[in-house]
Structure 1
Amino acid sequence: MGSTGGSVGSRAAEHLSMLAAAVDGLLDAGLTELSDTEVVEVMRGVEQSLRRAEAVSHRLVVESVERSVPARLGYTSPKKLLIDVLRISGADASARVTAARELGVWHTLAGESMSPVLPETAAAQRDGDIGADHVRAIAKVMRKIPHVVDNDAVVEAEAVLANLARSGTPEDVEQAGHRLLAYLNPDGNLGDDRDRKRRRGISIGRQDTELMSRISGELDPVARAMLDPILAKWARPGMNNPDDPDSPAGDGEDPSIDRDLLAAAAVRDTRTAAQRNHDAFSAVFRALLESGVLGRHRGLPATVIVTMTLEQLEQAVGGLATTATGGSLPIADALALAEKAHPVLALFDHAGRPLHLGRRRRLAGADQRLALIASDGGCTRPGCSAPPSLCAVHHVTDWHKGGRTDIEGLALVCDACHAQVNDGPAGWATRSAPVHSTFAGRTEWIPPPHIDPTRRPRINHRHHPGELIEHARREARAP
């Protein structure tokens, strides 16, 4: 329980006054004189302080609840007190109370401190390494852990997720959490197949007064896996735009399409993603009716590329297979799809890296691309979630600098990230992780000095939550 003594109150008021003065100073400080590196450093410093301030907010919520301040002021809950006092939304107030319950240090009736519900997460926030979105991602995963999982495993899981959050994004934590849940509950299933069959369907409504038809429904995992590679080609910016007479029609990878014409059309393209999807459907329907041929995409047939482990293949049940478009589907469905649709199934050894596939020419071959799809899982630039279907094959060491078109020297990179690899002052560099490093063979990205003055190499773990979890678990267990 906190004290209301004058000296303590004076110190709190003094700290608050210093905080206000610091904020005033930053608001009044000129920023135009700062270098690019200094602007980024100030961004980091402000973000870290704001994150730590959230921990102070949790302490204040705990203090008010343990003193019964809301009740004494006529409120039926701490949430309503926060709404009135701080003038925040109900959703924000609810989120703050929930966070305080999980990260705050509460006390017994005897005044003894109790450990937070999520102790490692609370510590990471106090250090300023994680923010509210990280916390929500961790808590969401923790709430999904089955009650049958023993307490030691739950404690370890929270430590793993907090460790991941310190170096990753909330999206990284969420993706890793899915893998962690599967690890903790390997016998659980993704949903009853009978439920999926019952829910599947697409409804096309009647035409309205403007002759528009509303479409709604749900796709089962197999249908979604087959749809993704089609949209990756036909819904590409600049393609099949009915509002642009110069927009190329059909398949975005058709060699007969003028690349400059497509690039210009993409710049003019103001459609939303939903509109591009609609126009792609229309174009695909037309092409299917006329020829039935979908063509090729980035050197590979427009097909479903499924990746799974050898253990998953042998067991044929449980867990998820991944597709080149970033999708997931149950192992049983993936195997059934392989029987009927003949997709590409990539299997890797225990190390998770492809075999050597060399090539004297500059362009990677289809086999090499297939290997990269399964090993890289998507764009290798840290933080990028682009799936393989939106990536090109990149030479880790530039071709013009002696880089070879061998599988160990290639990586998947999306078009936007590829443009950031250059020798300019703001350019990134790429290299393969050394043999004895933690993630040997993976593509490391070296940031420019304005992002990280030390230029410490970074690896994208967005597509590899499993290996990141194992690494974090080893660190959590280390003495």
Structure 2
Amino acid sequence: MSSIDGIGVSDQVHVHLSAIADAVDGLCATDLTALPDGELTDTLRRLERSLRRASAVGHNLIVETVERSLPGKLGHKTVNKLLVGVLRISAADASARVTAAKSLGTWHALSGQPLPADLPETAAAQRDGAIGPDHARAVREVIRKIPHAVSSSDVAVAEEILADLARSATPEDVEKAGHDLLAYLNPDGDLTDGKDRKRLRGIRLGRQDQNLMTPISGHLDPETRAMLEPILAKWARPGMNNPDDPESPTGDAEHPHVDRDKLAAAAGRDTRTAAQRNHDAIKEALRALLGSGVLGSHRGLPVTAIITMTLDQLEHATGVATTASGGILPIRDALKMAERSHPVLVLFDHNGRPLHLGRSKRLATADQRLALIAADRGCTRPGCDAPATMTAVHHVRDWSKGGATDIGGLALGCDACHALIHDGPGGWHTRTAPKGTEYAGRTEWIPPPHIDPVQRPRINHRHHPKELLDRARRKAQARRETDAGQRRDQSKQHHARASAGSNGREEIP
């Protein structure tokens, strides 16, 4: 049995586990009602960090169990069944733990040499307590979906991006950002091209069940989704087209005939889920379409999507474009849609911000909103994935405090995030990133102390996944250059010592 500082490994583990048990006993016996408000959230953070780090220990325990063939020795067919029997956990929990250990644990070669984890940056983040099992699962699922044709170096960069994002975001944010990252790893759709999408497209209506309900399933191609999203954004808005509320307005939420006060009241009564609102919106839209007579004279629906692409993408017809609803579609499909849409040109400065569009009134103009949709693409609060169609124009410096309605002082924010901006306890604040910083001109959100005691300004990268990719590549390049410099220094020191030793031997008679 190996030992460190004269203490056997078994004794060390026993001491550490006893300390954990004593600490938990102490916390369980503590009257938490006496904790001040300011310390309660800090206690939650510290406990969560310890639990996350404990999960990393669990991974390595599973690794040891597998590498020692312990399940077979104890009469279990698999390590999963051993965990179920020993820990009395569910089969699903055991499977999740083993899967995590495979990609995050420290495995060993036959020589006993430790091998790097399959997801090294994610494993490091969990050992630090910065991410939990759900974060790691989200990263693992994205990496699993990367096509085999993508180079191993790009896969490594992608894992680094997601692990870095997970340190400051939720698992849902990681998953959603991963979808965008997958699109950028295969921007031209050459691995899932137009032929594949044509083959996969379809909507299936199942048989009516005993409740006369019809299940629906299928796949929409990018162009169809891009046309559907703006319709749902207006017709599926809370309070609109609610069949259970006789006072609910019908049709398009932006139509002049819609009473704003009546809509706000209906939204307050609306208890439908997002899926139910989508259903009711499509139902009402189909009713309006059938009653309009348009099917008798037109072959298709007019395109109403707002699409954002760069000049380079337009010139080369490659890459992916984004819609105001947060969707992604290949440039080729976007150009096909643009042939039948009203063109809108937005000019940007070198920082990717729209050029000056000023206004002396409080409300932003339609042109200003279009510019913000193209620049911000969605809510600017860090971690929020609300698309541009679900946002309002926000004054970075409040209008009541002298903020002007100029394009440089405006940003997009969804209703929920906008409500977080206030001067009271727990309030967020916004500002424009100053010149000379990495994201000059972008909107920075400053969290309250209970979120971040240091209150570091944050940028939302959710709608700009390429920024994460570029940042990770710069970090990786800097790390490689640092490692190369250290190796050169070590080589010089080695040659210097060898030279000194050689000179010394020559002087010996």
TM-score normalised by L of structure 1: 0.90
Identity within the alignment, %: 67
The aligned counterpart of 2:223 is 222
Letter in 2 for 1:403: G
| Matched-pair contact (CA < 8 Å) for 2:2–2:8 | no
| Matched-pair contact (CA < 8 Å) for 2:184–2:466 | no
The aligned counterpart of 2:71 is 70
The aligned counterpart of 2:461 is 461
* Matched residues, number: 471
The aligned counterpart of 1:134 is 135
The aligned counterpart of 1:54 is 55
After TM superposition, give the deviation of residue 446 of structure 1 in Å: 1.5
The aligned counterpart of 1:397 is 397
The aligned counterpart of 1:271 is 272
The aligned counterpart of 2:377 is 377
| Matched-pair contact (CA < 8 Å) for 1:310–1:349 | no
The aligned counterpart of 1:120 is 121
**Aligned counterparts of 1:158 and 1:277: Cα–Cα separation in 2:** 34
Residues 186-207 of structure 1 show CA distances to partners (whole Å, capped at 9, x for unaligned) of 5652523233223333344565
**Aligned counterparts of 2:124 and 2:212: Cα–Cα separation in 1:** 57
The aligned counterpart of 1:363 is 363
Structure 1, 355-364 or 214-223: larger mean CA deviation: 214-223
| Matched-pair contact (CA < 8 Å) for 1:2–1:63 | no
Q: How does 1:447-458 map to 2 (within 5 A)?
A: 447-458=447-458
Q: How does 1:124-163 map to 2 (within 5 A)?
A: 124-147=125-148, 150-163=151-164
**Aligned counterparts of 1:214 and 1:447: Cα–Cα separation in 2:** 43
The aligned counterpart of 1:296 is none
Structure 1, 180-189 or 16-25: larger mean CA deviation: 180-189
| Matched-pair contact (CA < 8 Å) for 1:304–1:344 | no
| Matched-pair contact (CA < 8 Å) for 1:232–1:389 | yes
Letter in 1 for 2:269: R
Cα distance change, pair 377–183 in 1 and its aligned pair in 2 (3 A): closer
The aligned counterpart of 1:104 is 105
Letter in 1 for 2:117: P
Structure 1, 443-452 or 211-220: larger mean CA deviation: 211-220
Cα distance change, pair 344–137 in 1 and its aligned pair in 2 (3 A): farther
**Aligned counterparts of 1:204 and 1:304: Cα–Cα separation in 2:** 26
Letter in 1 for 2:79: P
Residues 179-238 of structure 1 show CA distances to partners (whole Å, capped at 9, x for unaligned) of 555555556525232332233333445656655444443322111111111111111111
The aligned counterpart of 1:320 is 320
Letter in 1 for 2:119: L
Cα distance change, pair 205–471 in 1 and its aligned pair in 2 (3 A): closer
The aligned counterpart of 2:25 is 24
Cα distance change, pair 3–108 in 1 and its aligned pair in 2 (3 A): farther
The aligned counterpart of 2:421 is 421
Letter in 1 for 2:85: D
Letter in 2 for 1:367: D
Residues 159-183 of structure 1 show CA distances to partners (whole Å, capped at 9, x for unaligned) of 3332232233334434444455555
The aligned counterpart of 1:13 is 14
**Aligned counterparts of 2:157 and 2:378: Cα–Cα separation in 1:** 29
After TM superposition, give the deviation of residue 393 of structure 1 in Å: 0.3
**Aligned counterparts of 2:289 and 2:244: Cα–Cα separation in 1:** 22
The aligned counterpart of 2:430 is 430
| Matched-pair contact (CA < 8 Å) for 2:303–2:340 | no
After TM superposition, give the deviation of residue 150 of structure 1 in Å: 5.0
Cα distance change, pair 2–354 in 1 and its aligned pair in 2 (3 A): farther
Letter in 1 for 2:200: R
Residues 400-438 of structure 1 show CA distances to partners (whole Å, capped at 9, x for unaligned) of 111111111000011111111112222211111111222
The aligned counterpart of 2:473 is 473
After TM superposition, give the deviation of residue 245 of structure 1 in Å: 1.5
**Aligned counterparts of 2:161 and 2:209: Cα–Cα separation in 1:** 52
What SS class does the counterpart of residue 394 from structure 1 fall into?
strand
Letter in 1 for 2:8: S
Letter in 2 for 1:220: D
| Matched-pair contact (CA < 8 Å) for 1:308–1:322 | yes
Letter in 1 for 2:192: G
After TM superposition, give the deviation of residue 389 of structure 1 in Å: 0.5
Residues 345-404 of structure 1 show CA distances to partners (whole Å, capped at 9, x for unaligned) of 657565322111111111111111111111111111111111110100011011111111
**Aligned counterparts of 1:245 and 1:468: Cα–Cα separation in 2:** 47
Residues 290-337 of structure 1 show CA distances to partners (whole Å, capped at 9, x for unaligned) of 4589xxxxxxx99200111222111213x3211001111111111101
Cα distance change, pair 450–178 in 1 and its aligned pair in 2 (3 A): closer
**Aligned counterparts of 2:160 and 2:384: Cα–Cα separation in 1:** 25
The aligned counterpart of 2:249 is 248
Cα distance change, pair 202–160 in 1 and its aligned pair in 2 (3 A): closer
Letter in 2 for 1:51: R
TM-score normalised by L of structure 2: 0.85
| Matched-pair contact (CA < 8 Å) for 2:157–2:469 | no
After TM superposition, give the deviation of residue 456 of structure 1 in Å: 2.0
Cα distance change, pair 6–471 in 1 and its aligned pair in 2 (3 A): closer
| Matched-pair contact (CA < 8 Å) for 1:248–1:257 | yes
The aligned counterpart of 1:33 is 34
**Aligned counterparts of 2:155 and 2:439: Cα–Cα separation in 1:** 26
Letter in 2 for 1:199: L
Residues 435-459 of structure 1 show CA distances to partners (whole Å, capped at 9, x for unaligned) of 1222111111122233223222222
| Matched-pair contact (CA < 8 Å) for 2:161–2:468 | no
The aligned counterpart of 2:307 is 306
After TM superposition, give the deviation of residue 146 of structure 1 in Å: 4.8
What SS class does the counterpart of residue 392 from structure 1 fall into?
strand
**Aligned counterparts of 2:261 and 2:223: Cα–Cα separation in 1:** 36
Structure 1, 80-89 or 63-72: larger mean CA deviation: 80-89
The aligned counterpart of 2:298 is none
Letter in 2 for 1:376: D
What SS class does the counterpart of residue 14 from structure 2 fall into?
helix
Which structure would you say has the larger RCO, counting Cα contacts within 8 Å and 6 or more residues apart? 1
Larger radius of gyration: 2
RMSD: 2.8
After TM superposition, give the deviation of residue 246 of structure 1 in Å: 1.6
Cα distance change, pair 216–347 in 1 and its aligned pair in 2 (3 A): farther
Structure 1, 140-149 or 444-453: larger mean CA deviation: 140-149
Letter in 2 for 1:472: A
